Chain A
Amino acid sequence: MASRTMNNSVPAAEERPAAGGRLRGLLARMPLHLVLLGFMLLWSLPTIALLVSSFRAPQEISASGWWTALTPPWDFTWNNYDAVLNQRGMGRAFINSLLITVPVTFLVLLVAAMAAYAFAWMQFPLRNTLFLVMVALLVVPLQMTLIPVLRLYTQLEIDAEMPIIGGRIFGTNSYAGIWIAHTAYGLPFAVYLLRNFFGALPRDLFESAYLDGASDVRVFFRIVLPLSMPALAALAIFQFLWVWNDLLVALILLGDPDMAPMTLRITNLVSSFGSQYQLLTAAAFVSMAVPLVIFFALQRYFVQGILAGAVKG
């Protein structure tokens, strides 16, 4: 008889050590927790400093360190945020940032997932070579491509007004242009990440689905995408943050101030008003708000072991 047996009974309830044991466990792990806490504080210190400063008046910022604000008398102010949000064009810049980032994130996920599925599970000639080329693109610095892309865009320019969102139809100062540029920059990593994730899905699931009569398209949408939520969510967060925080590509491809995203607008705050440090801190926080919301909305997918129960016990 085969010796390969496996206990498949209902997953055992988490073991509960006695109260004394739990305390001992807690004490044993204390040093580790203290170290982790220390690192956490160290890492978040700059952000906390930024947050505190953004609520302080300009004269205070230049006169004393941010930590002095933590002791009474507290006199925090909304003025900086008022000033930033009411800055001419800041609202539009926020919308521009969304207009650039959301479609790019969506495009990258869709194209990368489809490509990754093909690379992982479909048979076609030169599959591995093409994948290798794709991965090799990871080493090409984005900066190297700016001038060629810019030249290409001027040649391919379609100089007509894009309805609803504005800008040109294509070329520089067009949303379509920056979408495609950002998508292309994001794809090598995205395909690489997803292919590895898809490739690790159990082969039996695909074979079972094929036997059940599912086509590749259906396997992709009904099996692969739902099972890959953790990877897709992770990628979505990364991609969103990269594009949201991008300054360089926007600076090159979007000269029109009406189309400028937050990053561009915040940089201009510095140059046009001299060193208005207090405004910068508030603007940085406004700019961080959206990524934070995205992160907290998707973070549960990181920890969710959605694959548990797929195969065996």
Chain B
Amino acid sequence: MAGVTFEHVSKRFEDTTAVDDLTMVIPDREFLVLVGPSGCGKSTVLRMLAGLETITGGEVKIGDRVVNHVPAKDRDIAMVFQSYALYPHMSVYDNMAFSLTLKKMPKAEIKRKVHEAAELLGIEALLGRKPRQLSGGQRQRVALGRAIVRDPAVFLFDEPLSNLDAKLRVQTRAEITKLHQRLGTTFIYVTHDQVEAMTMATRIAVLSAGRLQQLGTPQEVYAEPTNVFVAGFIGSPATNFFRGVVRDEGEGMSIDTGDFKLRVNPGRQAPLKDYIGREVIAGVRPEHIHDAAYQPADTETDELDVQVDVTEMMGNESLLHLVAGQSKLLARVDPRTKARPGEPLRIAIDTTELMAFDPETELALR
């Protein structure tokens, strides 16, 4: 068991920089999820840690040991691949036993370990089968089992759920979380799916364009995103952004987008003091825009009139595409809403959740 440390790690492929100056400390037993859009470098980070990719600069440590030049097999890690990468010509048992056989472990012990892992995953009945006789979910478990038998210090997962159907994915998500609690080992998990990140992680590292954008608990990256990218990437549907000028007149501070004015909650005014008369980027999550007729009782809101463009009824909630002048908003509202396409609607925006960012640096103002 061990933590993992990245110190100023970078990776360049010829003239493109895949990972740029990544510094990140992952304590022992953490479930860290690396999340970001495709091409953001998250898989490269994982592969550098696994030893499948050389490190251009900086240091990677597993525990206290610098592993930059340690071969993959000696890093005490196990990896679950997106494609599962099971050996197609070997039985499930042989797939799981392969690494132990190479370590020259006694046969009886290999048998015990494989059966132990198979029992944990509920795949004992499949041990004699070949991968091609298994369903996707079963293959996924075998891939997990192959990692478990090795008793690694760190488990690495490279989008392990991408090839499963939606239902199985939800189920396996919970199982991997349970596995983490049971094994008490460091898990590092790569995904492009922010739902997976939010539901499984103890901490999330959001990457974009090879740079670490934010490292924090799911609650932190959701509620206090450090920049526009994180605010837009985490949360579904994505945050609404508007450019507007900060004004401080008569009735209090507000952000004027030209199409409408958003009142700034007194609790959120301090960081905006320096921006009075200047432009900022305001962000409002769809779930913080309510139909004024059905707004929750205990929130501080600012109401405004908009035009309904499209409605999407989901049963438990409704998604409303709204138009206010040139601005477009997406709102996730109470399903009892009377909003109809083409008709006007009064909405209430939760001002305590209003986010603001510097227009140049795109960093959060707080």
CB pair A211–B72 under 8 Å, yes or no, is yes
Kindly identify which residue among A204, A210, A226 contacts B81, using a CB–CB cutoff of 8 Å: A204
Q: Answer whether residue B304 sits at the interface, using C-beta atoms and an 8 A cutoff.
A: no
Q: Answer whether residue A141 sits at the interface, using C-beta atoms and an 8 A cutoff.
A: no
Instruction: Identify the stretch in A34-42, A95-103, A236-244, A302-310 within 8 Å (CB) of chain B at 4 or more residues.
Output: A302-310
A118-160 vs B, CB cutoff 8 Å, 1 = contact: the mask equals: 0000000000000000000000000000000000000000000
Which B residues, 124 to 154, have Cβ-Cβ distances below 8 Å to chain A? 130-137, 139, 146, 150
A185-213 vs B, CB cutoff 8 Å, 1 = contact: the mask equals: 00000000000000000101101111111
Instruction: Return A309 CB to nearest CB of chain B, in Å.
Output: 3
Q: Contacts A2-B162, A212-B73 hold; do A227 and B135 have CB atoms under 8 A apart?
A: no
Q: Answer whether residue B219 sits at the interface, using C-beta atoms and an 8 A cutoff.
A: no
A residues near B139, Cβ cutoff 8 Å: 8, 309, 313
Which B residues, 61 to 90, have Cβ-Cβ distances below 8 Å to chain A? 72-73, 77-79, 81-89
Please name the residue on chain A nearest to B84 by beta carbon.
A311
Q: Answer whether residue A10 sits at the interface, using C-beta atoms and an 8 A cutoff.
A: yes
**How many interface residues does chain B have, given as a range?**
35 or more
Q: Answer whether residue A1 sits at the interface, using C-beta atoms and an 8 A cutoff.
A: yes
A residues near B98, Cβ cutoff 8 Å: 209, 212, 214, 222
Most buried by A among B88, B133, B136, B165: B88
Q: Contacts A213-B73, A226-B89 hold; do A8 and B163 have CB atoms under 8 A apart?
A: yes
CB pair A4–B89 under 8 Å, yes or no, is no
CB pair A208–B81 under 8 Å, yes or no, is yes
Q: Contacts A8-B136, A212-B98, A313-B136 hold; do A1 and B88 have CB atoms under 8 A apart?
A: no
Kindly identify which residue among B73, B164, B168 contacts A210, using a CB–CB cutoff of 8 Å: B73
Q: Answer whether residue A312 sits at the interface, using C-beta atoms and an 8 A cutoff.
A: yes
Q: Contacts A1-B193, A212-B73, A313-B139 hold; do A6 and B85 have CB atoms under 8 A apart?
A: no
Please name the residue on chain B nearest to A307 by beta carbon.
B88
CB pair B162–A211 under 8 Å, yes or no, is no
**How many interface residues does chain A have, given as a range?**
20 to 34
Q: Contacts A202-B83, A309-B86, A311-B85 hold; do A211 and B136 have CB atoms under 8 A apart?
A: no
Please name the residue on chain B nearest to A204 by beta carbon.
B85
Instruction: Return A154 CB to nearest CB of chain B, in Å.
Output: 47
Q: Contacts A1-B166, A309-B133, A313-B163 hold; do A212 and B99 have CB atoms under 8 A apart?
A: yes
Which A residues, 1 to 53, have Cβ-Cβ distances below 8 Å to chain B? 1-2, 4-10
CB pair B83–A204 under 8 Å, yes or no, is yes
Q: Contacts A10-B135, A207-B52 hold; do A2 and B85 have CB atoms under 8 A apart?
A: no
Q: Answer whether residue B292 sits at the interface, using C-beta atoms and an 8 A cutoff.
A: no
CB pair A211–B87 under 8 Å, yes or no, is no
Inter-chain CA distance A10–B129, complex, in Å, is: 13
Instruction: Return A121 CB to nearest CB of chain B, in Å.
Output: 13
CB pair B136–A208 under 8 Å, yes or no, is no
Q: Answer whether residue B102 sits at the interface, using C-beta atoms and an 8 A cutoff.
A: yes
Kindly identify which residue among B73, B83, B236 contacts A211, using a CB–CB cutoff of 8 Å: B73
Inter-chain CA distance A245–B88, complex, in Å, is: 36
Q: Answer whether residue A223 sits at the interface, using C-beta atoms and an 8 A cutoff.
A: yes
Kindly identify which residue among B79, B99, B136 contacts A6, using a CB–CB cutoff of 8 Å: B136
B residues near A209, Cβ cutoff 8 Å: 87, 98
Please name the residue on chain B nearest to A218 by beta carbon.
B102
Kindly identify which residue among A202, A210, A226, A312 contacts B163, using a CB–CB cutoff of 8 Å: A312
Inter-chain CA distance A313–B137, complex, in Å, is: 9
Partner-A contacts on B (CB < 8 A): 50-52, 72-73, 77-79, 81-89, 98-99, 102-103, 130-137, 139, 146, 150, 162-166, 168-169, 192-193, 195, 236
Q: What are 14 residue pairs bridging A and B, where the CB atoms are less than 8 Å apart in the complex? A: A5-B169, A8-B137, A202-B85, A205-B87, A208-B81, A209-B87, A212-B98, A212-B146, A218-B102, A306-B89, A309-B86, A311-B86, A312-B163, A313-B135
Q: Which 9 A-B pairs have the closest CB atoms?
A: A8-B136, A309-B132, A311-B83, A204-B85, A212-B99, A213-B73, A313-B136, A208-B85, A310-B88
19 additional A-B residue pairs with CB within 8 Å, beyond A311-B83, A312-B84:
A1-B166, A1-B195, A2-B192, A6-B136, A9-B136, A204-B82, A208-B85, A209-B87, A211-B50, A211-B78, A212-B73, A212-B98, A212-B150, A213-B73, A213-B99, A218-B102, A306-B88, A309-B133, A311-B86
